[in-house]
Amino acid sequence: MTNPEIQSIKNRFGIIGNAPALNYALNVALQVAATDLTVLITGESGSGKESFSKIIHNLSSRKHGPFIAINCGAIPEGTIDSELFGHVKGSFTGAIEDRKGYFEITNGGTIFLDEIAEMPIGTQARLLRVLENKEFIRVGSSKVQKTDVRVVAATNVNLIDAVQRGKFREDLYYRLNTVPIAVPPLRERGSDIDLLFRKFTSDFAERYRISPVTMTSEAKETLISYNFPGNIRQLKNIAEQIQILEAENKVPISPQVLVKYLPNYASTTRSMTFLGGGGNAQNGSESFNERELLYKILFDMRRDMNDLKKLVLKLLSGEAHHGEILREHGNLFSSIEADTTPIAETAKLLPSSSYTAPQTQHTSGNNSSNTPNIIQISTYDSIENDVVDISHETAEDESLSLEHKEKEMIVKALQRSAGKRKYAAQALGISERTLYRKIKQYDIEEE
């Protein structure tokens, strides 16, 4: 059951959904709002990180102070210091007068720094000083100024990864990450997707003065199974398209109609079995992604074993005197899929008289009549040894193939995505954090 305070926050800020991960994130925001602690909000693009920054500000003692949201990735590197900390007249070309920065303007309030990972290293050092000493210096000035600003930062990338690549200051990361809040992606919120879709279509129907569309139960399942790489922002756009283009049909939306509005539906669909009712975003998503990767590896192993069995079957079936082996060990090949002659039929084609037991040979004397038997024994031993070697290799492969194939798949994914972990992780169906850990585990060199 939802905490009454959490439900009150949802009603006040227009947040829809009951996924456990969403409720947990809201509960953390509620508890930290009353403090002055720095908060780091993590989550994919379009998942609603800015809403959490507004919740924290409006539930804090600073709610009557200014609130400003800054997208660090949208400000050019050459001007971001001036934007954040201000400048004095003549400090650079175009500085025709003194200018206050955002940290000075929002004194006593809250500043939300979105896409914090895009902030230049030099600016990060200035920000660290503000967080630690509540001091800053305008560009072109030597005068130290004080400010009382609460910082809420957000990012959609793995900052630990950025730290290790030298793109983000480690000391700033730990200073920002005083209280982390993880906003779950839409795909991990289960039935919340349907609730949001109905809310969006209802809003658009009211705006355009048309009847809201409805969906069949099958279409709802199709919608919930979609991966939504663009999260809530993408769902809202899809809802608007469907509401405008399908409203006049006056019939519930079917899965066939819905799929037309879901880009790359076949390649971005999840199994409903693992979704539950929204899942646990902190514990369930990563284990699900790893299971999915293991399933891929096991399917590859099964295919390889099947091909191996076909090869051995063909080898044994090619010589008449191996029919006895097939009759004795036919069950070994019973799981071979598709176009191979059934074992029972193969055995029928090889009468027992066609099998001749190898004759013991004596080293003394030269008996030319024994030559065929010597050749037969040699051939049989050779084939038998080949089969034994294959079996030994297979046993060794089975013990190592899981790790080997997992590493191989990761290397291939990285190569195909030109070293971009984000796209490699998407191709493998795992999170960037899981991919990063696997890269370290297998000591994979990145280009």
- 3 state DSSP class of 361: coil
> Selecting from 1.10.8.60, 2.40.50.140, 2.40.30.30, 3.40.50.300, what CATH number does the domain 188-274 have?
1.10.8.60
Q: What is the pLDDT of residue 100?
A: 94
Q: pLDDT band at 431, cuts 50/70/90?
A: confident
Q: Is the pLDDT of residue 276 over 50?
A: no
What is the model's pLDDT at position 408?
Answer: 83
* pLDDT > 90? residue 112: yes
Q: At what angle do helices 49-58 and 20-33 cross, to 10 degrees?
A: 40
Q: Give the tokens for residue 355.
A: 């099998």
What confidence tier does 344 reach under pLDDT thresholds 50, 70, 90? very low
List the chain domain ranges: 4-184, 188-274, 287-357+372-441
Look at residue 20 and tell me whether its pLDDT is greater than 60: yes
Q: Could you tell me the sign of the dihedral formed by the alpha carbons of 236, 270, 3, 155, in that order?
A: negative
In terms of Cα–Cα distance, which of 74, 104, 75 is closest to 87? 104
Q: Would you report the helix, strand and coil content of the chain in percent, each value rounded to 5?
A: 60, 10, 35
Percent of the chain with pLDDT over 90: 54
180 DSSP β-pair partners: 40
Q: What is the mean pLDDT of residues 397-419?
A: 75
pLDDT of the residue at 333: 59
Lowest mean pLDDT among 104-108, 135-139, 186-190, 420-424: 420-424
297 or 371, greater pLDDT: 297
The residue count of the chain comes to: 447
- pLDDT score for 116: 96
Specify the CATH class of 4-184 in words.
alpha beta
User: Which two structure tokens, joined as six digits, stand for 237?
Assistant: 């756009």
- 192 or 343: which carries more pLDDT confidence? 192
Report the alpha-carbon angle 29-30-33, nearest 5.
75
Angle, alpha carbons 315-390-350 (nearest 5°): 25
How far lies 178's CA from each of 37, 181, 259, in Å? 7, 10, 42
Query: Is the model's pLDDT at 361 over the cut of 50?
Result: no
Q: Tell me: the pLDDT tens digits for 298-331?
A: 666 766 677 777 767 766 666 555 566 666 666 6
Evaluate if residue 236 carries a pLDDT over 50. Answer: yes
Max CA separation in the chain (angstroms):
114
What is the crossing angle of helices 284-317 and 371-416, to 10°? 160
